[in-house]
Every structure is written in structure tokens, then in C-alpha cells.
Amino acid sequence: MPGLTSADTIRILVATDNHVGYAERDAERGDDSWKSFHEVMSLAKEKDVDMVLLAGDLFHDNKPSRKSMYNVMRSLRMNCYGDKPCELEMLSDGSDVFQGTFFDHVNYEDPDINVAIPVFSIHGNHDDPSGEGHLAALDLLQAAGLVNYYGRTPESDNVQIKPVLLQKGNTKLALYGMSNVRDERLFRTFRDGNVKFYQPGTQKQDWFNLMSVHQNHHAFTETGYLPENFLPDFLDLVIWGHEHECLIDPKYNPEMNFSVMQPGSSVATSLMPGEAVPKHVAVLSITGREYNVEPIRLKTVRPFVMREIVLAEEKGAVKLAKKANNRTELTRFLEGIVNEMIEQANQEWEEAQGDEELDEDQARPKPLIRLRVEYTPPEGGNFDCENPQRFSNRFVGKVANVNDVVQFHRKKAGATKRTQNGADMPEEATLASLAIDSVKVEKLVREFLTAQSLTILPQNSFGDAVSQFVDKDDKHAMELFVSENLIKQVESLMKMDNVDEDNIREAMEEEKSHLEQLFASGHLAKIKKAKRKPRPDDWDSDLNGEWEQQPAAIIRSDLEDEEDSDASRPVSKTKTNGRAKAAPKKIAAPARKPAAPSKNPRGKKKIVESESEEEEEEDVVMIDPDEDESQLFVEQAPPTRGSKKSAPEKAPAPKRAPARAAASKIKQSQLNFSQPATQSRGKSKKAQEISDDDISDDDDAFEPAPSSRPTRSRR
């Protein structure tokens, strides 16, 4: 943009998927993740950037260890605190972009700490919120003033994305963020038009729109990813997290008119081809509506070399196939290939260091080596391969992964296997392809359940439970899944009048299908969020998930009628994870009878709430359906524990909380937000424009502006 100088340039260090804490119990690789993260933060200080943008999975676990948390906090304090003034000016209201937290402002505006380089981060699928209070590890870092945690997604079926508005000189940056949501549910939410993007209401053409997401980028399944054309086309650049392959150069999407950058991970968490690509971060320089990317290769990353061979196509191995006993010679042949890979890895690491002199503690690390060998024998021959772990142990002291250097697989298109009970199993070739490190546990479960279906337990929630057990290290996930679904099956059978051996199987199949439909529609998740109950004495605080996900929890029906006898007037309430929805029609509530059972839809329970339970409940005040949508943005006083709130009366005009100190006062008078139409599959929506007459003169006003322009569909 003409007339702009370096004083108008916003410099951002971009990184994703640091996975601090990965393999931290490994004697050789335990420090790899936090050392790479420390290098990333040191680069931010060295390059003198204005901010750091992290696109999810800062931690490998949503309950990181003390060692991981300590090393992250240490790196942030060493590189982000200082006397250098932060030149970014915050223009948006922090209570809108940092909702759900006590610290509703950016950390560099806090008068109690000295932040030189602010860090903005969304959460990924590994460090997502869980447990009591639905807190993430990023909430702890935000409370400590080290990170600005934005892009929260409290409701997966109603996503509203408001940007963090920043300005430096004459460059205006609208920073959008959408933390990880389960891919299938997010796909359905976009398809149903329940994702809303907000834009600044003034000078739209002057804003650079940058967004960070953490979802599947490639279509592993039909709905298990986020298509690029689901995102709005007013974006300029998208930082894509979750995919570990480093594609640091932005790739332009001509259909959507924006570019996508995929920095990849800073540590190898699996031995697959995508992880073998050299790891980079980037310094993104934005001047007006133009941007420039400077890739930087990370030097502390452990070298990784991967190779795949087919023995039947190797000259040295084909000769050995004709011999009766060729194990020793074949092992020697493969050992030579691995030694070549080790030399290649060491050479690549030395080249990455450049002319920099290494300290004593920067000795050359042992590389990661993975050799995939297809040992399908040719006609009239055979390959007698050694045990893979025994073969890998030959390289102790030379490689970091001494137990899985080699991976043997055989290509065979034979008939499907059958178990002892006669159930079909996937083909051996399919199992071999699923055995690699790149496979997702959901895909593995789906392949097995396709061949052998379950009779009692729902299959889709079974895959979700296995994923929680493997990915989140939730040791109770399978136990909870089995116990909860068995209880629902028993309750369904008890409701039947005549049950005999002939129709009991049919009844269980019907109930299983019903549970699968509820899980697929997300209805079970809504019921679990409907009400939070106090935890019992035997509640396990180390268990992933909230109290309503525990075995002893009784989930009330979302159709239950409630009446607040203590309030001055009836108020309809529901728990929607912190968001208010229109109240349903009021129905006269019948008198409560503690012992009398009530009829409910299948699979649900109706319970009687005690007064103590009501006091523990965190109420959400509902608004009247006839109220203006702007009432949603009225900031309510925090509820007092143990007290009830009645529905608020309509105020003449929505008001904001008092502004912060004069030094950090936002320029709300120049900003209004317009809300474009929602997205649908295969379509993108233009930002809705408003005229200067529509801009509110009230400094404290914040409303989504109505749509004034038709949307443009794409093929």
C-alpha cells in the first residue's frame, strides 16, 4: 500500500503444533518438544516481532505435566517479558473476544506485568478444555499473564467468531480464531449454517483478515475435515494447524481468494512421511493489505529420515529370495540400508546448523530412522525376515527409536479373515495399511466394525471412546462407555411389557440404533450440558470430562418443566454452556412429587432436584424471544453463589462495562460489527456491508448489523 513504511508493518511469528510434553518419559527424546518450543520463542525475541501466533496443540496433553508447564512458562517469561513497548493497539472489546474469563483484556495492557511480545493462541484437539470448570491448559497461562487465549468454541453447534482487532500505525489487523471442534460436528455446523463470522463495521477494505484454525485439512472421511470453501472469502490468509506436514509457503485458493499456510509441527510425534519434512516456522510481515512470509528452519529438531522399499524390486534382495535360508544375509542387506539412512540424517542435521558454532551441550542428536519394508516374495522365492524389534535393537546408541527402526508388511489380496466365532475381519492388506503410524484410531475402529458389527453397544460412540482412551490417555473412557450404554439398554428393556428370547435381540438392536442416532446428531452432548450437578465424594478429579460425564451422574431430560418457587416471577432457564437462548413457552408446572415416576422419551431420566442442587447450579438468565438480539451483548453482573437470578428487565439501551485505564481505552466509537450470512457446503458468503449512517455513535454499543446485501454463491 503506498505511503506505508516499516513503522506500519506488523511482524508475527507463526507456529503450530508444538506438542510440549510428547514422549517426555523417553530417556532419549524426553526433552525434544520443549527444546523446540524454546527455540521458537527465542526466535520471536531475536527477530523482534510484534506478536506470536500459535494455532493449537501447544501441549501434547490437556493435563500437561509439571515439567511441561514449567518449561513453557519459563520460555514465555524469558522471551516475552521486557521493557520494549508493545506497539500494537487493541481496538476491540476484550470481553467479546476473551469471553468466559476473568481477565478480559490483552496481557500487554495489564499494568501489573511488562509484556514486550504478546502471544495469541487457540486450543487444539490435544490441549482442549476438560474436567471440572471446563478449563484448558491455556486458561492457566492466560491467568498468569503469559498467553492471550482467544477463539473459544463453547458451543459446537452454534459457533460465533469475532475478531481481535489490532492496529499498528496505519495497518489494521482483524485476527480471527476458531479452536478445535470435533471435525464431524463442525462439518455439520457449517453445513447447517450455524457458524457466524463478524467483521468490523467501518473501513472494511482497510483490514487485513487473518484466521487460525485447528482441524483436519485433508478429507480423511466425507465429513471428517474442514473444507476450505466453508470459510468466508473475505479472509486474506488462513494459518492451518493440526496437520503436521510442514507446508510453510502459502498456497493460494483461487475459488475463495485467500491463501493457506500450514507451518506443521515443531516435533515429530509419529514416524510417517509428513513428519520427515524439515520443520519450519515463519515470520509474517503485514503492511496494509499486503503480506510477506519469511520461513525459518528450526535447528533443534531431531533429524528424521524415512524410506520405503520393496524387497522384490531390490537387486540385492531378489537373489536372496531363491535361497532356502536367507535370514542372515537379508538382515545384513537391510542393516546396510539403515546405516546409509543414519549417515544421511547426520549430514542433514549438520547442514541445518550452517556455520554456527555448536556448544558442548549441542552435540549431534541421535536421529529418528524408519525403514518400511514390503517383503512380499516373488514367485518361487521367499524372504525370511528377522523379528522387527530384534532387528531394531542392533542400532542401540546410533538411533533414538531403538524399538521400531524397521516395519515389515506384506502385500496380499487374499480372502478376508474370519475369527473363531465366524465374524468377518478386514483383509490383511487393509490391516497392514492400518498398522502405520499415520492412521487415526477412529479409522482403525471403523474398519473393524465394518467387518464385525456390535449388537448391544453403539458403534459411533464406541469409536469416540477408543479415541479418548488413546489420544487423551483417558483410562476410564472405555469403562464409562460400556457402563453407561449397558444401563441405557437395561432401562429400555425394563420398559417393555412382554420380552421373550425371540424379540429381546431385536429390542437391543433397536435401542442401539436409537443411541447411535442421538450421538450422531449431537443430542447426547446437549443433554449432558443441560445441567451441571455437584460432584459426589467418590468423584475422580483426574478423570477427563466434566461431572455430568461421570458414571454416577444422572442426566435430566431437556424436556423437564421447571418452576422456581423462590423467584418473584417464573423464569425459564437452561444451561447452554454460557450462552443465552430464547425461553420456551411457559407452561404451568405441576406440583412436585418426589416418589412419583414420570414418563419421558426413551433413554432419559427425570429426577427431582433438591434445594441444595439448585444452589449449586450456575444459572443462565434467559431473554425473551421478542427482545432485540443486541440484548445478548448486555453484560450481566456475575451471579452470587447460592442465589437465584431472575430474568432481567429490558434496559433502554445495552451498556458496556466501564472502560479500563485511559492508557488502554479502546476506540469503540469507530467500530461496529456486521454479521454476514452463515455458510453452507460449497458456498462462501461475502461480508455484509453497512453504510456510515448505520454506525452507532454510542461508544459503548456493540451490535451485529443486519444484512443489507445479497450473498454470492459459488460452485
**Secondary structure of residue 167 in the 3-state scheme:** strand
Whether the CB-CB separation of 435 and 271 falls below 8 Å is answered with no
CA–CA distance, 49 with 88 (Å, rounded to integer): 11
Task: Output the CA–CA distances (angstroms, integers) from residue 298 to 15, 94, 266, 541, in the order listed.
Answer: 11, 33, 8, 38
Which residue reads 528377522 in cell numbers?
386
Percentages (nearest 5) of helix, strand, coil residues in the chain? 30, 15, 55
Whether the CB-CB separation of 512 and 488 falls below 8 Å is answered with no
- Among residues 640, 637, 641, which one has the least CA distance to residue 616? 641
Going by the DSSP 8-state scheme, the letter that residue 20 receives in this structure is B
For residues 334, 336, 339 and 341, what is the CA-based torsion angle, rounded to 10 degrees?
Answer: -70
CA–CA distance, 518 with 688 (Å, rounded to integer): 35
Whether the CB-CB separation of 466 and 447 falls below 8 Å is answered with no
- Among residues 522, 463, 519, which one has the least CA distance to residue 155? 522
CA–CA distance, 276 with 44 (Å, rounded to integer): 24
- At position 310, the amino acid (one-letter code) is V
Q: Please state, as a whole number, how many other Cβ atoms lie within 10 Å of the Cβ of residue 89.
A: 15
Which residues lie across from 14 on neighbouring strands? 53, 282
Whether the CB-CB separation of 32 and 302 falls below 8 Å is answered with yes
Strands in 368-374's sheet, in edge-to-edge order, are 304-310, 368-374, 406-409
123 is catalytic: no
Going by the DSSP 8-state scheme, the letter that residue 202 receives in this structure is S
**Secondary structure of residue 629 in the 3-state scheme:** helix
Q: Please state, as a whole number, how many other Cβ atoms lie within 10 Å of the Cβ of residue 48.
A: 11
Going by the DSSP 8-state scheme, the letter that residue 302 receives in this structure is P
Q: Where are the alpha helices (DSSP H) in 305-440?
A: 315-321, 327-353, 388-392, 428-434
Task: Output the CA–CA distances (angstroms, integers) from residue 530 to 60, 391, 458, in the order listed.
Answer: 30, 54, 22
Which positions ≥6 away from 540 have C-beta within 8 Å? 476, 550
* HEC assignment per residue over 600-624: CCCCCECCCCCHHHHHHCCCCCCEC
Q: Per this entry, what is the length of the chain?
A: 715
In this structure, what C-alpha cell is assigned to residue 647?
430474568
For residues 346, 351, 352 and 356, what is the CA-based torsion angle, rounded to 10 degrees?
Answer: 110
Going by the DSSP 8-state scheme, the letter that residue 399 receives in this structure is B
**Phi then psi dihedrals of residue 3, to 5 deg:** 90, -10
CA–CA distance, 245 with 274 (Å, rounded to integer): 4
Whether the CB-CB separation of 71 and 20 falls below 8 Å is answered with yes
Whether the CB-CB separation of 110 and 104 falls below 8 Å is answered with no
Task: Output the CA–CA distances (angstroms, integers) from residue 382 to 317, 378, 688, in the order listed.
Answer: 10, 7, 68
- Among 126, 214, 217, 476, the one annotated catalytic: 126
Give catalytic residues, as residue numbers: 126
